[in-house]
Amino acid sequence: MNVSMNWLKEYVTIDCDVQTFADKMTMSGSNVDRIEKKGEAITDVVVGKVLEIIKHPDADKLVVTQVDVGEKTIQIVTGAQNMKVGDLVPVALPGANLAEGLKIKEGKLRGIASNGMMCSVEELGLDPEHFPDAPEHGIYVIKGDYPLGSDAKPIFGLGDAIVEFEITSNRPDCFSLLGIAREAAATINTDFHYPKIQYNEVAGDMNQHASVEVIATDLCPRFVAKILVDVDIKPSPKWMQDRLRSVGIRPINNLVDITNFVMVEMGQPMHAYDLEELTHGKIIVRRANDKEKMMTLDGEERELDNTMLVIAGEEEVIGVAGVMGGEGSKVKDHTGMILLEAANFDPASIRKTSKKIGLRTDASTKFEKHLDPNTALIAMERACQLAEMIGAGRVMAGIIDVNKSERKPNKVAYNVGNINRLLGTDISEKEMVGYFKRLEFVVDEDQKEILAPTFRADIECEADLAEEVARLYGYDRLPTTLATGTPTVGKKSFTQRMEDLTRQIMEDCSLNEAMTYSFESPKVYEKLNLGPDSHLRLAVKIDNPLGEDFSIMRTTTVNGMLQALSNNYAKRNEKVGLYEIGTIYEPKAIPLKELPKESQKLTIGMYGDCDFFKLKGILETLFEAFNCLNHAKWDPNIEVSYLHPGRKAKVIMKNKEIGYIGEVHPDVLDAYDIHEKAYIAVIDMKDLIDEASLDHKYTPVPRYPAVNRDVAMLVKEEILVGAIEEVIRARSGKMLEKLELFDVYKGKQIEAGYKSVAYALSFRAADRTLQEKEISKTMEKILKGLENELGATLRK
């Protein structure tokens, strides 16, 4: 909401400078986004009178003028042709600063001295669109009488300050100058001068000339109309144009200007119809028919549907209600009788219509904000007053006020103790009542109740009153205390601590933390080679997405990770390792009947200077930190379409599958434009954390020596070393302290289809030195087991 300080000061006395005023308003709840001081940089422009114009002796296109600037007359050479002797013009004196950094100096033009410049509106930094009387590429000729040599800036509204307020959605009343003025008066505790509205009517009865029927009563809570006769369409007076210009509205003609003026002042959009264009003077407020067409004022043809509210004549639509009028019934220069409309429309309907037809106007933005229907009548009367005042027409007696739903003021009880308890203050009742009155609340001090004005429908309960008290008392004056009451223990849960630990370990393992989007495109199913029946295809779909790329909630974190790797690859980053703890969203069924399951996945992705076992090592490091490495197993029997079929494994923790690891399938790498081997792992955080423990049990450090034995065997190639280790562990019981694979060999001296595998075993007992006999017995058991279960033969 842009507010001109000059205009605002008509309704409220503001003595302080604009910055102080803005600060006060911000602190009372009307946040100031910006202050624009109009023409701040422009200096030394005065009113001058053209005394003489003669031709330049040496230049056809120049003239030499004498201009009276008050105390003296100066000579100015100019190329402009539009001014006449006797005209008042804005004159930039030597040393003047104009728009866009232009500086005026004394000089010569084709040998003739020129000691200043006559200005166009552009040179004063103004929009020529806002000055309908400004000539194209010419000097602006000032109308009216001003002392010669006086500052010309105020004539153009320069020197005014425009304050831009951020208005919150609970305060639609502040989308008007009067609303801001009321807030200003309450804030600085001064009087608020509401305009006195009065006008005369000419004989007749408008109801004889026009009628309004509201069919869609739900979408139009009020429709007020009056008729102006003897309408004389012409430019509005300068003061009204100045007001409109100050808030960025282009003056058009007196009638349009009146409706715009009232819209800014009262916050109520209005519309004027040429009564002669309305068959039988009839207006119908109804829903549009499907595919009904109309031409809006901007000359565009619009196709409507039956959710939209329109203003119609007997035959055709003449306006999209609350958004824009129609070309057909627009006020023309020769219009004699016009019908003025001040209506109230359903905000949601206006919002939807405006969105659907792609047309947001000053009117529609106002109607979207729950305007007070009571304002419609006041605004109509204000418009009539202005029409009479500026001679735009005369007001015919009679009024149409249809579907008149008047808003009742809210009654709210207050309890001074409660309000103080909520704020932590000790404000007296007298002071609170004073604030209420400043806000135009009617206070009943016996019943401890207030009546809020109808434009303050946001005041509904005591907490609302507490805020009114707090903001006028000053948020900055409220005490600052630390909550007493029952102490609580601040801490992280076990899960949160384990997530922290995971991040720490990942970073210790050289991985950088990534963050990827929760939503993605269904196209990723194809990129990841997913089969048509893959459970990952069952995803939550967004009904109104920002395009396909953001249209489903991810069911896997892999696409995000591969995309992140791909981004890095495209930027030629070498040796990239990333991790993310991210959420996936798994619906039970679509459409949703209950919330989807949201689970946290640790995802690791890397390329460059890495292999399967580096990634496996990172996971094992994590498992060690989680105290569950002993329970981890790696099983290649898993179907994952985006992994290399020979380089993948599911990760099993205590017989539960908690995730998988593998090299990315070359087809998938191609799809992501990664032309290097890449590895990924995905682990379910909850499943992992379920097996984690931060408890450590102490056992005494060993006092007896360990006994070491090596064992080398020949097994079939396809036997996994993991299986060999399982057998060794199972057969050696508690005595086995450590086993270490130190050699796997295929090739010369080894029969085809076989491999040689060698382990170093280390045995120890806590309570004695192991005897050779015990070791031999255990070794025998191990070898027998390997032989029986895996067909291994001992190498000697």
CB neighbours of residue 475 within 10 Å: 13
Residue 55, classed as helix, strand or coil, is strand
In the region spanning residues 540 to 559, those forming contacts with another protein, defined by CB under 8 A, are: 540-546, 550, 553
| H-run or E-run covering 248 | none
**Options 6, 31, 73, 534; binder of another protein; rule CB under 8 A:** 31
* CB closer to another protein out of 175 and 261: 175
Report which DSSP code applies to 194: P
Q: Which residues, including other chains, have CB under 8 Å from residue 477's CB and lie 6 or more apart?
A: none
Q: In what order do the strands lie in the sheet with 754-763?
A: 736-745, 754-763, 707-716, 793-794
**Options 12, 180, 249, 511; binder of another protein; rule CB under 8 A:** 511
Task: Please state, in angstroms and as integers, the Cα–Cα distance from residue 81 to each residue in 65, 136, 140, 252, 605, following that order.
Answer: 11, 11, 11, 26, 74
Cα gap 60→82, rounded to integer Å: 15
Cα gap 761→732, rounded to integer Å: 10
Window of 357-365, 491-499, 668-676, 682-690 that interacts with another protein by CB under 8 A: 491-499
**Options 198, 481, 630, 637; binder of another protein; rule CB under 8 A:** 481
Applying CB under 8 A, the site for another protein has a residue count of 89
Cβ at position 476, least distance to another protein in Å: 7
Q: Is the separation of the CB atoms in 467 and 421 below 8 Å?
A: no
Cβ at position 567, least distance to another protein in Å: 6
In the region spanning residues 166 to 205, those forming contacts with another protein, defined by CB under 8 A, are: 168-171
Q: Is the separation of the CB atoms in 581 and 499 below 8 Å?
A: yes
- Which backbone phi and psi does 285 adopt, to 5 degrees? -105, 110
Question: What x/- string results for residues 594 through 623 when contact with another protein is judged by CB under 8 A?
Answer: -xx-x-------------------------
**Options 101, 299, 591, 646; binder of another protein; rule CB under 8 A:** 591
Residue closest to 319 by CA, chosen among 270, 352, 380: 270
Cβ at position 394, least distance to another protein in Å: 39
* CB closer to another protein out of 106 and 548: 548
Kindly report the length of the chain. Answer: 796
* CB closer to another protein out of 453 and 596: 596
Give the amino acid at 789. E
* CB closer to another protein out of 310 and 576: 576
Cβ at position 601, least distance to another protein in Å: 14
* CB closer to another protein out of 207 and 365: 365
Residue closest to 494 by CA, chosen among 697, 630, 698, 692: 692
Cβ at position 713, least distance to another protein in Å: 36
**Options 2, 6, 26, 82; binder of another protein; rule CB under 8 A:** 26
Window of 240-248, 333-341, 358-366, 455-463 that interacts with another protein by CB under 8 A: 455-463
Report which DSSP code applies to 295: E
Residue closest to 317 by CA, chosen among 347, 290, 348: 290
Torsion, Cα of 11, 15, 17, 18 (10° steps):
-10
* CB closer to another protein out of 319 and 560: 560
User: Is residue 523 a contact residue for another protein (CB under 8 A)?
Assistant: no
**Options 86, 358, 479, 747; binder of another protein; rule CB under 8 A:** 479
Residue closest to 577 by CA, chosen among 673, 661, 512, 517: 512
**Options 299, 334, 358, 482; binder of another protein; rule CB under 8 A:** 482
User: Is residue 436 a contact residue for another protein (CB under 8 A)?
Assistant: no
Cβ at position 525, least distance to another protein in Å: 19
User: Is residue 405 a contact residue for another protein (CB under 8 A)?
Assistant: no
Residue closest to 607 by CA, chosen among 686, 706, 676, 519: 676
Cβ at position 364, least distance to another protein in Å: 13
Cβ at position 378, least distance to another protein in Å: 23
Cβ at position 519, least distance to another protein in Å: 7
**Options 478, 720, 721, 794; binder of another protein; rule CB under 8 A:** 478
Give the amino acid at 215. I
User: Is residue 421 a contact residue for another protein (CB under 8 A)?
Assistant: yes
**Options 41, 348, 744, 766; binder of another protein; rule CB under 8 A:** 348
User: Is residue 466 a contact residue for another protein (CB under 8 A)?
Assistant: yes
**Options 37, 250, 282, 351; binder of another protein; rule CB under 8 A:** 351
Q: Which residues, including other chains, have CB under 8 Å from residue 496's CB and lie 6 or more apart?
A: none
Report which DSSP code applies to 769: P
Buried b (16+ CB within 10 A) or exposed e, 590-617: eeeeeebeeebbbbbbbbeebebeebbe
Residue closest to 29 by CA, chosen among 578, 584, 435, 581: 435
Q: Is the separation of the CB atoms in 615 and 648 below 8 Å?
A: no
Rounded to 5°, angle at Cα 642 from 636 and 647: 30
User: Is residue 538 a contact residue for another protein (CB under 8 A)?
Assistant: no
Question: What x/- string results for residues 649 through 688 when contact with another protein is judged by CB under 8 A?
Answer: ----------------------------------------
Torsion, Cα of 179, 182, 187, 190 (10° steps):
160
User: Is residue 206 a contact residue for another protein (CB under 8 A)?
Assistant: no
* CB closer to another protein out of 10 and 218: 218
DSSP 732-764: HGGGEEEEEEEEEE-STTS-TTEEEEEEEEEE-
Cβ at position 492, least distance to another protein in Å: 6
Q: Is the separation of the CB atoms in 327 and 295 below 8 Å?
A: yes
Q: Is the peptide bond before 591 cis (omega within 30 degrees of 0)?
A: yes
Window of 51-59, 487-495, 624-632, 651-659 that interacts with another protein by CB under 8 A: 487-495
Cβ at position 477, least distance to another protein in Å: 10
Q: Is the separation of the CB atoms in 667 and 585 below 8 Å?
A: no
DSSP 112-152: EEE--EE--TGGGT--GGG-TTSPTTSPPPBPS---TTSB-
Question: What x/- string results for residues 359 through 388 when contact with another protein is judged by CB under 8 A?
Answer: ---------xxx------------------
Window of 302-310, 428-436, 465-473, 668-676 that interacts with another protein by CB under 8 A: 465-473
Cβ at position 340, least distance to another protein in Å: 28
**Options 230, 513, 526, 676; binder of another protein; rule CB under 8 A:** 513
In the region spanning residues 235 to 274, those forming contacts with another protein, defined by CB under 8 A, are: none
User: Is residue 358 a contact residue for another protein (CB under 8 A)?
Assistant: no
**Options 54, 203, 489, 589; binder of another protein; rule CB under 8 A:** 489
In the region spanning residues 563 to 582, those forming contacts with another protein, defined by CB under 8 A, are: 564, 567-568, 571, 573, 576-579
Window of 82-90, 112-120, 486-494, 787-795 that interacts with another protein by CB under 8 A: 486-494
User: Is residue 463 a contact residue for another protein (CB under 8 A)?
Assistant: yes
User: Is residue 416 a contact residue for another protein (CB under 8 A)?
Assistant: no
Cα gap 117→79, rounded to integer Å: 10
Cα gap 224→155, rounded to integer Å: 36
* CB closer to another protein out of 596 and 785: 596
